[in-house]
Structure 1
Amino acid sequence: MFRIPLITLCCCLAALATQAQSSVPAQLAARIPALMQRDRIPGLTIAYIENGRPVWTQHFGVANNSNGAHITDSSRFEAASLTKVVTAYMALLMAGSHQLDLDKPLSEYLGNTYDVGNDPRLAGVTARRTLTHTAGFPNWRSDSLLRFLFTPGEKFQYSGEGFVMLAKVMEKLTGKKYAELAKDSVFIPLGMHHSSMTFDSTLRALHVPRHNWLGNTAYSADYPNQNAAASLRTTAADYAIFLSALMAGNRLDPELHREMFTPHAYPDMEKMPGVAWGLGVGLDSSATGRYAWHWGDQGDSRALFVIDPAKRNGIVYFTNSANGLSPAADILAIAPGGRQDGVVKWVAYGKFDGQAEAVTRSIHQLGGEKAIQQHVAARKQKIGEDQMNMIGYELLRNKRYADAIAVFKQNAADYPASANVWDSLAEGYMENGDKAQAIANYEKTLRMKPDNPNAVEMLKKLRDK
């Protein structure tokens, strides 16, 4: 019998392992351009982490579709809500050094009632509940007063407001502005040389502008304020360094590191039983493992990361496009490996639908009502709710009110159980000056979703006129 020498066998196995590892970047590099073309994504930058180390970064497409500017290693993309994970890491660093107690009311640190007023439920808002999105706040307030949607700890409600409040506490405890604290505690120690929590006007050319769902350049997010939930500008390479540190528990108390990746809250056990929230990160449990993840959605700029903390593998990508989440399932099928069904379902609202492009062209040629009638008569399936909403809001921004209303009305007819479609229709009528229809549709929204702060605020404004 022919026998392969042991040393030869080991070399062959090592070569196969190396080939398998290198095939992940090769597969991504081969697949991504076609996905971008399919989903009308002008630019994408991506990094792959393997065995705890960033091993591959690549840029695809352009930074700016209007002038063809290339993406470089220094091009800064909006991280959007991936900012929250950096904020969580900062909070856990402070908790590990006993500067911050995760279970102490944040109001006690601030010494005031923040923007909540005299609501006694404020005593239940802690850093832990903020990080797990159980503080009871809406995602964003609709006016200067921050109102509770429920008693803290009762359930999950994704909220950027909680992270902003937590950052105020961290500022008070350290005497540093949030952006400065992020730089000193995260960016400099980790060597993240192209990351900032604020827009740097001296590096304006490096900041990648947003693009709408049709691929047209929208605008640069050059707002100057810092935001602990959303204002990070970074590169895929920098964020991969951060994720590597996160998986390794770099400078984190071991118990807090374990808690970070432990389920604390469940957004929807019925529809997404595998999805939970740890301390600042989403979790997705499946037969192939437990993954940590977060998505970023700044409207016309979207991003995603998924990591496997046990194997210390992962992927992160940023786009300059409203369609940036559309290729998520295709990319995750290649890396980090395994199945992340919960993540795919969570970001499915961002899927690009080619029908939408045809409908938009038709609207510009025929007008909203006629174009929608023709579309409905010929279609084989409905356009997704979120995609239709994007069409409507694009028209609304361009002051094509009648066309926008036609789109919103069809979306409401297609998805009548969604409170959001009626909210959008109400806004269309409001912008068109039809006060009675705006009130009627906001009232319908509120009956369907009583905790909708936007509907409450809009009704108040409309009735006070």
Structure 2
Amino acid sequence: MRHLIAIVALLICSAGSAIAAESPNTADSTQAVMDRTFQRLGAEFIKNGRTDGMSIAVVKDGKAHFYNFGSTTRKKTQAPTERSVYEIGSISKIFTSLLLAHAVNEGKIGLQDDIRRYLPGEYPDLAYEGTPVRIVDLANTTSALPDNLPNPFPQGKVDPDKAPFIALEAMKGFKQDQVYEELKTAKLSAKPGTKPQHSNLAADLLGRILEKIYGEPYETLVARYIEKPFGMASGTGRGRAADEVDGYNKRQVAMPRIYDRAFLMAGGLRYSTADMAKFLAAELAAADPAIRLSQQPAWGDPDDFAVGLNWTLSKTVDGKPRLRMSGSTFGCSSYIEMYPDMDYGIVLLANRPGETQNEMQDLANKALEEIWGKPPALATLEKGLQADGYRNAARVVAEVKRKHPELHLTEDYVNAWGYRLLGENKVQQAGGLFRYNAERWPKSWNAFDSLAEAYEKLGDKPRAIANYKKSLELDPKNQNAVEHLKKLEAR
């Protein structure tokens, strides 16, 4: 099954090796290649209708480069610039978590603190079998809290073009303390600290807690600790409304801008690529102890999949650390990633929501490989798999690792690679990769679910059924396996 992490982390076009010591002329040629690559990929992105306008900022060795495409509005042709302002969605959570890191370093709060210490009233249900929600759980996405509370989104059948307007109207009616009243009866979905899941509520509560311990509004804290030190313009309020892009959904319907404070700490900040380039430069330099703290693993294993303070942490196929985050609002998408060992980072902003954030990640990864080349470990692995016909991927991987010990494969990387091959109708090859995953991670329901899908496409009904059943045994909640088994066993 192509589950969320695999979709969001399409790592097939992975980071290349860090640039070796080269002559001065090579640096100039690298810049020329970078310019050509982004200009071509950006133009194709617009031509293929993935968004109306897009702005890109690349920071390499402390220097910012900007690329802009399309139009900021459908009302007329108006090219974006590095000063065009976009809603950055859930990337706002990184800003809120950076404020938390400052508060921790100043001794104002502890990451292991029970969040109820900082909330008004009693909340007996904010614990699961005796395990409370901690401050760190709010920032590493493992709080197990509901996604939105109060929930402004309309229930039942609603015209998707009207739903955002209904939600914003509902937000306007929220009372200041309504979230606390509803929180008293909210239920946790799992034990806190065990499983990452998206929660705007977690970020909102974290922002409210920070306001309480500092005795100042969130906007003031963002300005003091982030915007002013980094040289960024304000990302709150309506002061730059004239520079804001118009956002549209996938049907090209104009979407409302989000100014309501109910969404601010979780996804309501808005910046230009000029601003975000400064943010990227500061994050890459990591001179501030708070930045370093926010980038450290707070859940999981960075060799596989981990979360810092709202940064997703992983490694490239050649073992280099990688940090990323994406976001989406009603009318905008954002994607940011960094490779500290390469002193390289990129942020992409677009005026189209949803799937656009994943498509921008694809663009970023394609550009990286085109500019700096495919890592030798990956090139050797691909050649070996092709020569083997993908029949025994485990043996090929072992052989490549002897020559390239830096080769680093995760379940999600291989899973995404397999689905790319499926998309190219290379089912046998995809099956070979899925078999490797099932052998390498025998307790993964998703590995067996993906393998079952390959067998199903090959027409091998017995093996498809056996692997769907194995997946379901590992995760009884896997509805994908349930649905496919019903179809296969009914034939």
Q: Residues of 2 paired with 1:119 and 1:166: CA distance?
A: 14
1:203 shift after superposition: 3.4
For 2:215, the equivalent position in structure 1 comes to 175
Q: Which moved more, 1:318-327 or 1:307-316?
A: 318-327
Q: What is the alpha-carbon distance in structure 1 between the residues aligned to residue 305 and residue 360 of structure 2? A: 20
Compare relative contact order (CA 8 Å, sep 6+) and give the higher one, 1 or 2: 2
TM-score between the two structures when normalised by the length of structure 2: 0.60
Aligned match for 2:292, one of 245, 257, 269: 257
Name the CA shift for 1:309/1:101 in 2 (closer, same or farther; >3 Å). Answer: same
Distance in 2 (CA, whole Å) between partners of 1:304 and 1:224 is 22
Please tell me whether residue 329 in structure 1 is matched to residue 339 in structure 2.
no
Deviations 1:261-288 (A, max 9, x none): 336237xx9xxx8432122201122323
Cα pair distance change 1:258/1:251, threshold 3 Å: closer
Q: For residues 28-427 of structure 1, what are the structure 2 equivalents within 5 Å?
A: 28-51=38-61, 53-113=62-122, 116=123, 118-121=125-128, 124-141=132-149, 143=151, 144-145=182-183, 146-193=186-233, 195-197=234-236, 199-200=237-238, 202-223=239-260, 225=262, 227-253=264-290, 257=292, 260-262=295-297, 264-265=299-300, 274-288=304-318, 289-322=320-353, 324-325=356-357, 326-335=359-368
Indicate the percent of aligned positions where both proteins have the same amino acid.
19
Partner amino acid, structure 1, of 2:235: S
Matched AA of 1:332 = N
2-structure distance, mates of 1:311, 1:261: 18
The CA RMSD measured in Å over matched residues stands at: 3.4
State the AA in 1 paired with 2:336: F
What letter corresponds to residue 287 of structure 1 in structure 2?
V
Equivalent-residue separation in structure 2 for 1:345 and 1:72 (angstroms): 37
Give unpaired runs (5+ residues) of structure 1.
1-10, 354-446, 451-465
* Separation in 1, partners of 2:415, 2:230: 32
Q: Secondary structure at the match of 2:335?
A: strand
14-23 vs 176-185, which moves further: 14-23
Offset at residue 39 of structure 1 (A): 3.2
TM-score normalised over the length of structure 1: 0.63
Q: CA, structure 1 residues 215+233, in 2 after alignment: closer, same or farther (shift >3 Å)?
A: same
Q: Is the 8 A contact 2:335 2:360 kept in 1?
A: no
After superposing the two structures, state which structure 1 stretch, 243-252 or 120-129, moved more: 120-129
Give the Cα–Cα distance (whole angstroms) in 2 for the partners of residues 259 and 43 of structure 1.
31
Maintained 8 Å contact 1:80/1:231: yes
1:213 touches 1:300 (CA, 8 Å); kept in 2?
no
Please give the secondary structure, in 1, of the residue aligned with 2:92.
Answer: helix
d(CA) in 2 for partners of 1:182, 1:26: 36
**1:248 Cα deviation (Å)?**
1.9
d(CA) in 2 for partners of 1:259, 1:86: 10
Q: Which amino acid aligns with 2:40?
A: A
Q: 1:147 to 1:67 in 2, by over 3 A?
A: farther
8 A contact 2:126–2:132 mirrored in 1: no
Letter in 1 for 2:121: N
Alpha-carbon distance in 1 for matches of 2:49, 2:300: 33
In 2, Cα distance between equivalents of 1:68 and 1:90: 38
For each residue in 1:271-311, what CA deviation from the matched residue of structure 2 results, as whole angstroms up to 9, or x when unmatched?
Answer: xx843212220112232322100011224311101100222
* Aligned-partner Cα distance in 2 for 1:12–1:97: 43
8 Å Cα contact 1:328-1:344 kept in structure 2: no
CA contact (8 A) 2:204 2:263 kept: no
| Letter in structure 2 aligned against 1:279 | L
User: Alpha carbons of 1:344 and 1:186: their partners in 2 closer, same or farther (altered >3 Å)?
Assistant: farther
Cα gap change, 1:230/1:192 in structure 2, threshold over 3 Å: closer, same or farther? same
Q: CA deviation at 1:138?
A: 2.6
Deviates more, 1:224-233 or 1:120-129: 120-129
Deviation at 1:54, TM superposition (A): 3.8
Residue matched to 2:166: none
Residues 117 and 62 of structure 1: CA distance in aligned 2, closer, same or farther (over 3 Å) = farther
Count of residues in Structure 1 that have an aligned counterpart in Structure 2? 331
The one-letter amino acid paired with 2:287 is: N
What amino acid is the match of 1:137? L
Letter in 2 for 1:262: P
Q: CA 1:231 to 1:100, structure 2 compared with 1: closer, same or farther past 3 Å?
A: same
> In the alignment, is the contact (CA less than 8 A) between 1:47 and 1:316 conserved in 2?
yes
Using the alignment, how far apart are the partners of 1:312 and 1:229 within structure 2?
A: 28
| 1:132–1:264 Cα contact (<8 Å) kept | yes
Change (3 A) 1:89 1:45: same
Task: Name the SS for the 2:265 alignment partner.
Answer: coil
Task: Give the gaps of 5 or more residues in structure 2.
Answer: 1-20, 152-181, 376-408, 424-475, 480-491
Deviation per CA, 1:140-185: give whole Å up to 9, x if none.
Answer: 2365343211121222222221111111111011111112211121
Q: SS in structure 2 opposite 1:151?
A: coil
* 2:51 matches 1:16: no
Counterpart amino acid of 2:147? N
Task: For residue 306 of structure 2, give the secondary structure of its aligned residue in structure 1.
Answer: strand
